[in-house]
């Protein structure tokens, strides 16, 4: 089957390349391959399985619709299944948005909802330009791609997203976040900046594909103030961060920010395709049919989604994600202390990243940022920053002279992913340079399962580290 797949499917296939398995059964955290091997799945359908595979409440909800004789596909007509989904979703929204929210059912993927959000704010403001951030990922359709970090578009102004480890200003911490906000403000207020008032700003509260980078709460609040003061709608892309993943039901709740538009997909469909935007009613200036699509009425996805949202809410799974995520991240930081090749461990809730670096490439700037073979990625986050010699520090303060983080090591990260797979653990890769091993376990993962995940990951790191013959240095890292 794998041979047939590689001879028949597109060269653009992604996960199938690094995960040569044929899943035939799955439950919770576990996937069983056609070869009988079992895997702990910390990829979770790219973060879409809040309750893991085939959770009983999800299966029951799907069976309920199938057995009821209800139509499975009804465009955007009203149905009891859709009505229940909307009520459940609205009950979870941040107060301040819930009171006067509109919902728009979009085509089924996250990228469809991003397109709808961009078009909505353009329609409502009559303006065209957009603000987006370095390292962002919003999808693969043209508009969503244009606001993602790897793209260039005349209509999109790229702003710095604060991050400690590879801070574009070389400071990290609060100072880095302050400088990032200041840059945004000055672009908007300088009449000669070349940036006219945009139609909206789109931001991920935690960058996922960009390498698991949580936005500092204070910075996100500042983005809210800056946009509100200038009448710019703020779009929060919660496609990956939503439904408890980061330790709050919606990741914007950590900062208390109420966006004007929220883009939701992945977990809201309870493992089936579903995407919506919810937004303040003042923005609802569309003409009828201004944004349509055939597949906006997936009843099974709405039923599975309702069951998922309700289960996460009733069982406090966001709180559980916060606590367990903190423990797992702390343990991984311990692992990071043992290996010089682990440059950083970060995350929020059960969205966790471990960045692998190459200490063999100079940190004096000569090789930094281009040891990945991708020419530096072009997002400006490593090379070309205004401060040449700044080693980011974690919690504010001064710049440590003459040092900067080692370049990312995507080869090692891929080796760790392979070693994980050999040990029956499925992990995701991400980050600007694909040097970040990502964990997105279901929110239902037990303490014992979390231990098993961390044990396998630690063994995989040891094996990959040994294989590239760079000695395990013991606890020598600061
Ligand atoms: N936004 C974010 C933040 C995402 O993480 C993704 C998918 N990884 C998307 C949008 C696009 O979603 P989809 O792949 O369903 O189009």
| pLDDT higher than 80, residue 146 | yes
Cα end-to-end distance, the chain, whole Å: 47
Taking residue 186's Cβ as centre, other Cβ atoms within 10 Å add up to 11
* Polymer length in residues for the chain: 478
Q: What distance in angstroms lies between residue 115's CA and the mean position of ligand 1's atoms?
A: 11
Q: What's the gap in Å between 189 CA and the centre of ligand 1?
A: 31
Are both 294 and 412 inside the same structural domain?
A: no
Atom of ligand 1 nearest to the CA of 266: 15
Ligand 1 touching residue 259 (CB < 6 A):
no
**DSSP per-residue codes, 197-261:** PPSEEEE-SEETTTTSEEPPHHHHHHHHHHHHHTT--EEEE-TTTTTTTTSSSSGGGGTT---SE
Structural domains of the chain, count: 2
Q: Please indicate, yes or no, whether residues 333 and 373 belong to a single structural domain of this protein.
A: yes
Cα dihedral value 16, 59, 41, 253, nearest 10:
110
Place 470 in a pLDDT band, splitting at 50, 70 and 90: low
* Residues forming beta bridges with residue 436, ordered by sequence position: 355, 430
pTM: 0.91
Return the half-sphere exposure (C-beta side, CA atoms, 13 A cut-off) of residue 415. Answer: 17
Note the pLDDT of residue 296. 95
pLDDT-derived band at 379 (thresholds 50, 70, 90) equals very low
Handedness of CA 278, 252, 202, 209 (dihedral sign): negative
Mark whether 276 and 265 lie in a shared domain. Answer: yes
If asked whether residues 309 and 328 sit together in one domain, one would say no
363 or 303: which leads in pLDDT = 303
Residues with Cβ < 8 Å from 108, sequence gap 6 or more? Answer: 269, 273, 274, 275, 295, 296, 298, 301
Q: Do both 329 and 457 map to the same domain?
A: yes
Burial 423-444 (b: 16+ CB within 10 A, else e): bbbbbbbbbbbbbbbbbbbbbb
Between residues 303 and 403, which one has the greater pLDDT? Answer: 303
Query: Is the Cβ–Cβ distance between 30 and 449 less than 8 Å?
Result: no
Residue 372 exposure: Cα atoms within 13 Å on the Cβ side: 26
- Give pLDDT, residue 396: 38
Q: What is the pLDDT of residue 361?
A: 67
Task: Indicate the pLDDT class of residue 360, thresholds 50, 70 and 90.
Answer: confident
Q: What's the 429 CA to ligand 1 centre distance in angstroms?
A: 15
208 touches ligand 1 (CB under 6 Å): yes
Backbone angles phi, psi at 401, to 5 degrees: -65, 140
Is pLDDT of 122 > 60? Answer: yes
Range of the domain at 12: 2-53+317-468
Query: Whose C-alpha lies nearest to ligand 1, atom 5?
Result: 240
Residues 259 and 113 in one domain: yes
Using the 3D structure, point to which of 296, 314, 332 is the last residue of a domain: 314
Q: What is the mean pLDDT of residues 211-228?
A: 98
The CB of 346 under 6 Å from ligand 1? The reply is no
Q: For residue 400, what is the enclosing H or E element?
A: strand 400-401
Beta bridge pairs of residue 130: 156, 200
What CATH number is associated with residue 409? Answer: 3.90.1150.10
**pLDDT band, very low/low/confident/very high, at 363 (cuts 50, 70, 90):** low
pLDDT at 295 over 70: yes
* Residue 294 neighbours by CB distance under 10 Å: 10
pLDDT tops 90 at residue 468 = no
* Percent of the chain residues topping a pLDDT of 90: 87
Say what the pLDDT of residue 436 is: 98
Domain end: 279, 314, 349, which one?
A: 314
Percentage of residues in the chain having pLDDT higher than 70: 89
Q: Is residue 143 lining ligand 1, measured as CB closer than 6 Å?
A: no
Mean residue pLDDT across the chain = 91
* Contact of 213 with 246, CB cutoff 8 Å: no
pLDDT class of 415 with cuts at 50, 70, 90 = very high
CA 208 to ligand 1: nearest atom: 5
Q: Do 91 and 99 meet the contact criterion of CB atoms below 8 Å apart?
A: no
Cα(426)–Cα(226) distance, rounded to whole angstroms?
Answer: 40
Of the two residues 314 and 396, the one the predictor is more confident about is 314
Q: Give the pLDDT score at 366.
A: 40
Give the position of tokens 């791609």: 145
Which of the four pLDDT bands, split at 50, 70 and 90, describes residue 183?
very high
- The model's pLDDT over 278-288, given as tens digits with 9 standing for 90+, comes to 999 999 999 99
Mean pLDDT of 138-144: 95
- For ligand 1, is residue 428 a contact (CB within 6 Å)? no
Look at residues 282, 314, 346 and tell me which one is the last residue of a structural domain: 314
Given the CA of residue 141, which atom of ligand 1 is nearest to it?
16
- Among 12, 108, 240, residue to substitute to test ligand 1 (most atoms within 8 Å of Cβ): 240
């Amino acid at each position: 089957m794998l041979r047939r797949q590689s001879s028949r499917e597109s060269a653009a296939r992604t996960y199938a390349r690094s995960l040569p398995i044929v899943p035939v059964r799955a439950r919770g955290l576990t996937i069983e391959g056609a070869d009988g091997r079992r895997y702990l799945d910390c990829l979770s359908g790219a973060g879409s399985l809040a309750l893991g595979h085939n959770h009983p409440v999800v299966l029951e909800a799907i069976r309920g619709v199938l057995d009821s004789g209800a139509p499975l596909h009804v465009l955007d007509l009203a149905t009891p299944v859709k009505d229940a989904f909307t009520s459940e979703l609205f009950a979870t929204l941040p107060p301040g948005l819930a009171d006067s929210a509109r919902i728009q059912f979009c085509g089924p993927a996250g990228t469809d909802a991003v397109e709808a959000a961009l078009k909505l704010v353009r329609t409502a403001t009559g303006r065209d330009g957009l603000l987006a951030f370095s390292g962002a990922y919003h999808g693969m359709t043209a508009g969503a791609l244009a606001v993602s970090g790897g793209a260039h578009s005349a209509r999109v102004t790229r702003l710095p997203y604060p991050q400690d480890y590879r801070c574009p200003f070389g400071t990290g911490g609060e100072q880095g976040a302050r400088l990032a906000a200041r840059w945004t403000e000055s672009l908007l207020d300088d009449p000669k900046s070349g940036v006219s008032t945009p139609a909206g700003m789109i931001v991920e509260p935690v960058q996922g594909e960009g390498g698991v980078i949580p936005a500092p709460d204070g910075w996100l609040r500042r983005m809210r103030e800056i946009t509100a003061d200038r009448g710019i709608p703020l779009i929060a892309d919660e496609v990956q961060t939503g439904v408890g993943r980061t330790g709050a039901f919606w990741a914007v709740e950590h900062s208390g920010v109420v966006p004007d538009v929220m883009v939701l997909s992945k977990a809201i469909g309870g493992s089936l395709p579903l995407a919506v935007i919810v937004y303040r009613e003042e923005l609802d200036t569309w003409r009828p049919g201004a944004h349509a699509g055939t597949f906006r009425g997936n009843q099974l996805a709405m039923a599975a989604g309702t069951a998922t949202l309700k289960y996460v809410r009733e069982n406090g799974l966001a709180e559980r994600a916060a606590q367990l995520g903190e423990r797992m991240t702390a343990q991984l930081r311990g692992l990071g202390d043992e290996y010089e090749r682990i440059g950083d461990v970060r995350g929020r809730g059960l969205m966790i990243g471990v960045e692998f670096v190459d200490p063999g490439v100079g940190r004096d700037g000569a090789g930094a940022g281009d040891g990945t073979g991708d020419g530096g990625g072009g997002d400006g986050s490593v090379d070309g920053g205004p401060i040449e010699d700044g080693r980011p520090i974690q919690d504010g303060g001064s710049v440590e002279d003459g040092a900067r983080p080692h370049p990312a090591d995507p080869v090692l990260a891929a080796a760790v992913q392979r070693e994980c797979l050999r040990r029956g653990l499925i992990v995701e890769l991400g980050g600007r340079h694909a040097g970040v091993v990502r964990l997105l376990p279901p929110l239902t993962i037990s303490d014992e399962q979390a231990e098993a995940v961390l044990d396998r990951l630690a063994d995989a790191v040891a094996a990959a580290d040994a294989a590239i013959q760079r000695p395990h240095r013991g606890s020598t890292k600061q």
